[in-house]
A and B are shown apart, each in its own frame.
Chain A
């Protein structure tokens, strides 16, 4: 499968995992969008460095060819999947920890 295809598939999978398993409600929180905006800014900076200085190179046959700050657009999709899943799992564990804490307080 191409990088583009895999990136799309992964984003759909990650969104499904949030909708059906994690249910953190992160996508409804302004805090998520602010945090993600900060992450994307730094991604463009650091990934732009990696691709601009040709530390990491890409096979042009498996990407669309649209580039943002030197890097293939697909990298932004990869980044979204990685960062969103990280934030969702992190949030979920926090919710579980809080529930356990409240439960133990009631006892």
Chain B
């Protein structure tokens, strides 16, 4: 459907589906680059190493006709590197979004104090 942009299309979807949360719920994930980058640096490298190991042993492999064909260090395609940046950011945005919205949602199901006292 998207030819060599097929994997990139999925990453684009992840970006669109998650980054709006920052602005809609006034989160501070994208606008806290220090906390964001520290998290990425502490988490992503381990999974990139796993990816490199799995690719080297052929645990998983890619249809090169559906990818851009840009291969980075350790034989890992560009799309995979972007995956290990965008997915963790989406996870942080989701957790922050839920943390912000959950108390409000919970409030809808709790009778207000005034109603109870009357």
Interface SS majority for chain B: helix
Interface SS majority for chain A: helix
* Inter-subunit contact B14/A87 (CB<8 Å): no
* Inter-subunit contact B43/A39 (CB<8 Å): no
Shortest beta-carbon distance from B31 to chain A in Å: 14
The number of chain B residues with a CB under 8 A from chain A is 38
Contact of B91 among A59, A86, A94 (CB under 8 A): A86
* Inter-subunit contact A55/B67 (CB<8 Å): yes
Q: Which residues in A have their C-beta under 8 angstroms from that of B58?
A: 59
Which residues in A have some Cβ–Cβ distance to B below 8 Å? 2-3, 6, 10, 30-32, 34-35, 38-39, 42, 46, 49-50, 53-59, 62, 78, 81-83, 85-87, 89-91, 93-94, 97
